[in-house]
Every structure is written in structure tokens, then in C-alpha cells.
Amino acid sequence: MFERVALIGIGLINSSIARVMKRDGLAGEIVIYSRRQSTLEKAMELGLAERAETDAAAAVKDADLVILGVPVGANAALAEAIGPSLMPGAIVTDVGSVKAAVIRDVAPHLPDGVHLVPGHPVAGTEHSGPEAGFADVFQDHWCILTPTEGCDPDAVEKIAEFWRRAGSTIDIMDAAHHDKVLAITSHLPQLIAYNIVGTVLDIEHVTKREVVKYAAGGFRDFTRIAASDPEMWRDVFLNNQEAVLEMLGRFTEDLAVLQRAIRWGDDKALEELFTRTRGIRRDLIDAKQI
Amino acid sequence: MFERVALIGIGLINSSIARVMKRDGLAGEIVIYSRRQSTLEKAMELGLAERAETDAAAAVKDADLVILGVPVGANAALAEAIGPSLMPGAIVTDVGSVKAAVIRDVAPHLPDGVHLVPGHPVAGTEHSGPEAGFADVFQDHWCILTPTEGCDPDAVEKIAEFWRRAGSTIDIMDAAHHDKVLAITSHLPQLIAYNIVGTVLDIEHVTKREVVKYAAGGFRDFTRIAASDPEMWRDVFLNNQEAVLEMLGRFTEDLAVLQRAIRWGDDKALEELFTRTRGIRRDLIDAKQI
């Protein structure tokens, strides 16, 4: 499908992409970039690429596909660095969890004739680094593409086709809507998980040993989410500020109502909410999202 | 181990207990009580008991072990109903997620010579009802016993031995401490999951279909927790009010700080929290709690 693919960053997602491409023979050559030499060495040992570069501009040279797979806050500087070295006709895509910020930060640095197709595979685990990736991670997941108006349809289709080969189903929407949807289904849950784990770590009247022992009661699920890559998530929240703060405001408002119901023993209100929330699980099972 | 066991309520936990007792031959006879005839019929079809009663007092007659497995708010009325029918020397235990309230509600109704050994198997799933139980649910989990001062040590040991046979490890602590520990590891996470799912269900600018489609981003884990039994959880919050409100206060406080960090772009604060929360996951893995 591609002659030379440059993977900018080689963490969980980009290393999984490398595995898919190796498995299915989709790339003539894979060149990887990371600012850390040790990460590149690990990735080369894993056989993920033909060549490794600590200079991003050198990595993208003659690449017909460039995939940005770094914390989204790093995109602007990287796009500026690679812009002049991009081949005419090259496609630049990314795998970030926010999309409007990616367009804002990357598009201005791309020369004419280079196609930007922002993408977001809604997949992953709480692990990070090149050793954490696996080819099946995208299987049966959605991949959202958010091409801007005037984007070359062939470039979009080529990226869509890659994701279909990786096992994903494609959705196309505009970047602003993507950021609102993901603020709800992903960014808010992630933030809440971080917050609850942080709150629990600060408790002084119960030992950490006790927390660990009885984590099966529910806390355990939050620790998995809150073990995700700190830099990646820091950048997500800072680059989807408005939608995240809006969701957080709603969450806090609802929590105040729930708190009041507990304080005043409003059994009806509690039971009503807890019954309502049960239904969405059935919807997820029906939609084969579980 | 027991001649006649009365299971008061036959949901996820008590039906799992019945399965353990059947599997290991621990009970001469099992009698089950539920206020719902249909639940009893289902349980009898599953072969969980020898006899079914919709009259709790009749169910406990001549039982040497009585296990309360109903939403904790139902304990007081049930204890009052069964008290006069309890056999001298019988042990009454329970499986509720709060313990001080159980002692408060049950102890006053028990005649002299009947031993109360409050218990809490920290195990379960989001499913409910007699068909949801399975004998392995307690395997490799903790079971906390909170006997009051002066409780017969032989009765405590007998209950502990039952839980060991079910695959659990025993911890003994006082009821007030139990309620604080579980407010952190279980009740707060549960409450937060309910709240976030409730908030998401109310969103008007993103369709429920979209929420379901992209739930893999993190929301999905919360829907599992928020699918748990509404009546059971309503009663937990109302019967561990003080500890839950205290934890909720801390959570809200921390969330306000986090919200401010996002609003003002405090990348250092975000990264510091997200890095700190990652550590507890390692502790859980080391403690074989995952």
C-alpha cells in the first residue's frame, strides 16, 4: 500500500501500526522516529522498522505516508520540523485523541500538495511504549477520520483502507464534533479515574495496603484507566479544554445532586438513577461494544 | 459443616454460597427465602435448595446457620421477623457491603444464645439474581468479618472456615473501620461510576448511538460498574452515609483543583497527578489483586 512509511513516535499505537504493516506487508519500508534513543533501540530489537532516526526531518524524507503518534502537544513543533522535508503527494495522518488541535497545529506547516488526514483509532490499553503494541489492538474497533474541507478524497480513502485492513470500521466526522463526542466517551471518564485514584492515594486514615487488598470492590477498574500514559493524557486535556470543562461542569452538577440525595436519605432518587444507568450496558452489549 | 442453612435472599451472593455448599457438601439441607415467588422458583429450578419459603421466620426454623443476603436496608425488618424463630446456638451472618448498620439493625432482634458474625465477601459481578451466582466467585478474594466484642470465638471461626472453603482469605476488623475502608475502595468508585453514566445519558448534543459506538475510549468500564443492582447500592449509600459523604467531599475538592489546572493550562500539575496514579497499579499487580 505504501512505499515508505515514517512513524513519528513509536509508542503503543504506532508500534501496533508497524506490526499490522509487517503482518500484512503494507509498507515497503518503515522508518521510525523517537526523541529517545533507547525507545528506538527497543523498537528495532522488536523488528518494527528498517531504519530509526532521532531527527524527524530525516525520518520523513521520501515517505509517502507519515503517521504522527506522539502526545498531541508535541505535534506543532514536529510538524514545523518535518514540513520542509515532506515529499509532494505524501499523506500525513495522526492517531491522537483530539482532532481540532491537531489540524490547528499541523496544517499550517504542511507544504502544498501534502495531504493531512487526521485520524483517531478508538483503541488501546493502559500500557505504553513500543513493547506494549500488538497487531490486533485495532480489530473490531472504530477509527474516526476528520478530514478538513477540500481534503483530497483519494488520500482519505487510502487511510480509511489502511484502517480497514487493521480490522477497524471507519467513521468520518468533523473535528469539532469528534472532540465533543470523545470528551464524553473518553476524556471525562479518564479524568474522573485519575481524580479518584489521586483522592484515594491521599487518604491518611486507611493504609495503602488496605486499599490494595480490597480494590476488587470497584477501585481496581479505575486504577487500570489511571495507569495510562501521563504525557499523552496531559496533552489531551489541554488540547480539548473547552469540551472537557463543559463535561466536567455537568458531572460536578450531577454529583452535587447525588450527594444531596445521600445526605437527605432520598432513596427514590438514588434508585431511579441507579436503575437508569443500568440500561446503557444493555445497549453496549447489543451494539457488540463489549 | 452445617445441618440446616437458611439463605435469606437468593441473589448473586447467596446463590453463589448455595453453589459452594452443594459442591462441597457443607450443608445437610438448604432452605431459601425470598419475598418474590418467581425468584424462589428460579432458584429451585437451578437446584440451589431443598426447600423454599416466602415466610422468613419459617425459613430459619431449626437452622444452625442463617445468612442474610438482601439489600442492607431490609435487614432490620427481616431480623425482627426471624428473631423469635431462631434456634438457640444458631449463627446469623450476612454478606452486606456495610457492617456498622448491619450490627445496629440486626443485633437488637436476636435472642440470647444466637451468635451474630457480620461478614462481607469482597467479591461479585455487576449481575444479579440467583442465575448470576457461581461457586468460584469467592475464589482468591478477601472476606472481611466484623464480630462485635464478646462474640463467641467458635462461631467466628466456623464462619471463617466456611469462607476459607469457598476460596477466600479472612480479615477481621471492627465494623466502623470496615465501613471507612470500603467507602474508599468500593462505595466511592461505585457512586462515581453511577454519576458519570447518568451525566452522559443526559447529554443532548451527542446522540446515545455515538456514546455507545465510542464507549471503548474509557466510558465502557464505568457502564459495567453502573449496571450493578440498584436496590443493593441504594441501601449501601444510605447506610454508610457519613464515610461516603466524607470521601465524596475529598473527591470533589480534588476535582476542583484538577479542573482549575485544565482551565489554566497547568501542564506540570496534570502530569504530576497522572504519573502518581500510575504507581498504584503496580502495587495491585504485586499484591496479585489483578
Question: Of B20-24, B199-203, B216-220, which has the strongest mean pLDDT?
Answer: B20-24
Q: What's the confidence (pLDDT) of residue A281? A: 86
**Which residues, 6 or more positions from A231, have their beta carbon under 8 angstroms from its beta carbon?**
A71, A73, B271
Determine, for residues B250 and A219 on separate chains, whether the beta-carbon distance falls below 8 Å: no
The single-letter code of the amino acid at B183 is: A
Q: What's the confidence (pLDDT) of residue A111? A: 97
Residue A228 has pLDDT above 80, yes or no: yes
Dihedral sign for Cα atoms in the order A122, A126, A129, A130: negative
Q: What's the confidence (pLDDT) of residue A190? A: 95
Could you say which of A195, A217, A278 has the minimum Cβ distance to residue B182?
A217
Q: What's the confidence (pLDDT) of residue A290? A: 67
Q: How many Cβ pairs within 8 Å bridge chains A and B?
A: 305
Place of cell 470523545: A182
Rounded to whole angstroms, the Cα distance separating B160 from A198 reads 34
Domain count, chain B: 2
pTM: 0.91
Determine, for residues A271 and B231 on separate chains, whether the beta-carbon distance falls below 8 Å: yes
Report ipTM (2 d.p.). 0.91
Mean pLDDT of chain B: 95
Chain A contact set for B230 (CB, 8 A): 270-271, 274-275, 278
Q: Which residue of B has its CA nearest to A270?
A: B234
Q: Which domain holds residue A232?
A: 177-286
Rounded to whole angstroms, the Cα distance separating B283 from A208 reads 9
Determine, for residues B200 and A222 on separate chains, whether the beta-carbon distance falls below 8 Å: no
Could you say which of B250, B255, B281 has the minimum Cβ distance to residue A252?
B255
Do B209 and B100 lie in a common domain?
no
Task: Kindly report the CATH number assigned to the domain that includes residue B181.
Answer: 1.10.3660.10
Q: What's the confidence (pLDDT) of residue B282? A: 85
Q: Which residue of A has its CA nearest to B225?
A: A218
Q: What's the confidence (pLDDT) of residue A270? A: 96
pLDDT in tens, A172-209: 999 999 999 999 999 999 999 999 999 998 888 888 88
Residue B290 has pLDDT above 70, yes or no: no
Do A142 and A196 lie in a common domain?
no
Please tell me the least confidently modeled range out of A269-283, B14-28, B46-60: A269-283
Chain A contact set for B245 (CB, 8 A): 259, 262-263
Residue A139, CA distances (Å) to A23, A90, A123, A142, B4 in order: 14, 26, 9, 9, 52
CA dihedral A218, A223, A225, A230 (to 10 degrees): 160
Do B16 and B152 lie in a common domain?
yes
Rounded to whole angstroms, the Cα distance separating A213 from A1 reads 50
DSSP H stretches of helix in chain B: 12-24, 37-45, 56-60, 75-82, 100-106, 153-165, 175-182, 188-202, 208-213, 219-225, 230-239, 241-263, 267-286
pLDDT in tens, A237-271: 999 999 999 999 999 999 999 999 999 999 999 99
Residue A285 has pLDDT above 90, yes or no: no
pLDDT band at B206 (very low <50, low <70, confident <90, very high): confident
Q: What's the confidence (pLDDT) of residue B215? A: 87
Question: Could you say which DSSP state residue B54 is in?
Answer: S
Do A86 and A12 lie in a common domain?
yes
The single-letter code of the amino acid at B80 is: E
Do B32 and B156 lie in a common domain?
yes
Backbone angles phi, psi at A52, to 5 degrees: -125, 140
Q: Which residue of B has its CA nearest to A285?
A: B212
First to last CA, chain B: 32
Do A23 and A148 lie in a common domain?
yes
pLDDT band at B218 (very low <50, low <70, confident <90, very high): confident
Residue finishing a domain among A151, A173, A195: A173
The shortest C-alpha distance from A264 to chain B (Å) reads: 9
The shortest C-alpha distance from A151 to chain B (Å) reads: 24
Q: What's the confidence (pLDDT) of residue A218? A: 84
- Measured in residues, chain A has a length of 290
Do B162 and B30 lie in a common domain?
yes
Question: Could you say which DSSP state residue A185 is in?
Answer: I
Determine, for residues A217 and B241 on separate chains, whether the beta-carbon distance falls below 8 Å: no
Chain B contact set for A226 (CB, 8 A): 274, 277-278, 280-281
Determine, for residues B284 and A220 on separate chains, whether the beta-carbon distance falls below 8 Å: yes
Could you say which of B185, B205, B244 has the minimum Cβ distance to residue A217?
B185
Task: Kindly report the CATH number assigned to the domain that includes residue A87.
Answer: 3.40.50.720
Q: Which residue of A has its CA nearest to B169?
A: A213
Residue A289 has pLDDT above 80, yes or no: no
Residue B289 has pLDDT above 80, yes or no: no
Q: What's the confidence (pLDDT) of residue A283? A: 86
pLDDT in tens, A158-176: 999 999 999 999 999 999 9
Residue finishing a domain among B173, B192, B217: B173
Contact A70, A63 (CB under 8 A): no
Do A234 and A260 lie in a common domain?
yes
Instruction: State the best of B140, B144, B211, B214 to mutate against chain A, taking most chain A CBs within 10 Å.
Output: B214
Do B209 and B259 lie in a common domain?
yes
At A173 the three-state DSSP class reads coil
Do A169 and A215 lie in a common domain?
no
C-alpha closest to that of B67 among B153, B9, B21? B9
pLDDT in tens, B109-146: 999 999 999 999 999 998 999 999 999 999 999 999 99
Do A13 and A114 lie in a common domain?
yes
Chain B contact set for A141 (CB, 8 A): 216
Do A111 and A242 lie in a common domain?
no
Chain B contact set for A259 (CB, 8 A): 245, 248, 252
When pLDDT is averaged across residues A205-230 and rounded to a whole number, the result is 88
Residue finishing a domain among B112, B143, B173: B173
At B42 the three-state DSSP class reads helix
Burial zone of B174 (CB within 10 Å; 0-12 exposed, 13-18 middle, 19+ buried): middle
Please tell me the least confidently modeled range out of A14-28, A42-56, A233-247, B198-212: B198-212
pLDDT in tens, B60-111: 999 999 999 999 999 999 999 999 999 999 999 999 999 999 999 999 999 9
Burial zone of B87 (CB within 10 Å; 0-12 exposed, 13-18 middle, 19+ buried): middle
Place of cell 503494541: A133
Dihedral sign for Cα atoms in the order A91, A95, A101, A105: negative
Chain A contact set for B259 (CB, 8 A): 245, 248, 252
